[in-house]
């Protein structure tokens, strides 16, 4: 029996191949109009809703493995998808589509003494590498934001969500085809080997930016080893400061929602 294509290549070849495909797609996506990108986001949202049953089944396998490993209730809650959460992901994509297109925005402009006018104009970065924990909704959020801004994305989610994220990325990428946007603009490293992250950080030929999302130690590890520029957070700040002049009724509602809406997530108050 012939080996599976993924088994026939090394991990390095797999990572480089996906990064290279994302780079080619980035060139095409950067030229897509606002209309095409917004329609792509609408198709991505619709695809999530249409494939809801399959996504829930894939997520069920991930959750079962997490329970077998004895992972915490908070972790399992972050990992778990429900019909309501899939609908929230779809709605999030529609909200991203409603944002103004950042591409082409004039950031600032000025005139030189000799009369030459100079402007700084926002353009796509190219390919964004996104490394994150086992929250499947991040797959849709990151892909959606990158499509809106004209950037291809190489995703690497936590190993505990491998089935959920693999299917999510496949569904989202296929949705791009319906609008003429390049489906290779959404790439996912569907392997659990942690070495894939280290190899991803070496892809300075193809990646323009890496965004790590996780604990302080992990983010520092990425920043120290990456050949690609890193956009990182530090220790995080999940506090609310209420000024004496604030509307206390509004402040109470904000605080209550920020903690109790979903206590298990990393940005809960």
Domain ranges of the chain: 9-100+123-236, 239-269
Alpha-carbon span 174 to 96, nearest angstrom: 19
Asked if residue 8 has pLDDT above 70, the reply is no
Domain topology for 9-100+123-236: Aldehyde Dehydrogenase; Chain A, domain 1 (3.40.605)
The position carrying tokens 């399959």 is: 54
Question: Environment class of residue 107 by beta-carbon count within 10 Å: exposed (0-12), middle (13-18) or buried (19+)?
Answer: exposed
Residue 59 in this model has a pLDDT that exceeds 60: yes
Whether residue 265 is predicted with pLDDT greater than 80 in this model: the reply is no
| Cα 44 to Cα 2, 61, 96, distances in angstroms | 34, 23, 11
Dist CA 221 CA 197 (whole Å): 11
Give the CA-trace dihedral at 250, 255, 256, 260, to 10 degrees: 150
Residue reference for tokens 């972050």: 78
Give whole-number Cα distances, 168 to 38, 83, 86, 268, in Å.
19, 14, 10, 24
In whole angstroms, what is the distance from residue 221 CA to residue 198 CA?
10
| CA distance linking residue 160 with residue 83, whole number of Å | 20
Whole-model pTM: value is 0.86
What span, in angstroms and rounded, lies between the C-alpha atoms of 25 and 234?
Answer: 31
Residue 81: pLDDT band with limits 50, 70, 90? very high
Alpha helices in the chain (DSSP H): 5-8, 11-29, 34-50, 52-68, 73-79, 83-98, 137-148, 162-177, 195-200, 216-225, 248-260
Q: Which pLDDT tens digit goes with each residue over 172-231? A: 999 999 999 999 999 999 999 999 999 999 999 999 999 998 888 889 999 999 999 999
Q: Are strands 186-188 and 106-111 parallel, antiparallel or unpaired?
A: unpaired
Mean pLDDT of 96-115: 96
Q: What is the pLDDT of residue 3?
A: 45
Q: What are phi and psi of 104, to 5 degrees?
A: 95, -5
Question: What is the per-residue pLDDT across 234-255, written as a single tens digit (0 to 9) for each?
Answer: 666 688 999 999 999 999 999 9
**pLDDT tens-digit map of 147-161:** 999 999 999 999 999
HSE-up (13 A, CA, CB side) for residue 84: 1
């Amino acid at each position: 029996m012939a080996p599976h294509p993924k088994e026939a290549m090394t991990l390095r070849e797999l990572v480089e191949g996906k990064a290279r495909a994302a780079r080619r797609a980035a060139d095409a996506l950067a030229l897509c109009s606002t209309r095409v990108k917004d329609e792509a986001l609408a198709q991505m949202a619709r695809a999530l809703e249409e494939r809801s049953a399959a996504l829930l089944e894939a997520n069920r396998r991930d959750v079962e493995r997490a329970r077998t490993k004895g992972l915490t209730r908070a972790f399992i809650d972050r990992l778990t998808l429900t019909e309501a959460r899939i609908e929230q992901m779809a709605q999030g994509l529609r909200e991203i589509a409603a944002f103004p297109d950042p591409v082409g925005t004039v950031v600032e402009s000025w005139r030189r003494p000799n009369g030459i006018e100079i402007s700084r104009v926002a353009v796509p970065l190219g390919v964004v590498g996104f490394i994150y924990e086992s929250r499947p909704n991040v797959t849709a959020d990151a892909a959606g934001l990158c499509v809106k801004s004209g950037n291809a994305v190489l995703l690497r989610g936590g190993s505990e969500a491998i089935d959920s994220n693999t299917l999510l990325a496949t569904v989202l990428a296929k949705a791009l085809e319906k609008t003429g946007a390049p489906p290779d603009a959404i790439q996912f490293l569907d392997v659990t080997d942690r070495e894939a992250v280290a190899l991803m950080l070496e892809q300075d030929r193809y990646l323009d930016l890496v965004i790590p999302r996780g604990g302080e130690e992990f983010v520092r590890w990425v920043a120290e080893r990456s050949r690609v520029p890193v956009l990182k957070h530090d220790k995080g700040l999940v506090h609310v400061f209420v000024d004496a002049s604030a509307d206390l009724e509004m402040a109470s509602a904000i605080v209550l929602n920020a903690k109790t809406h979903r206590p298990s997530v990393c940005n809960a108050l």
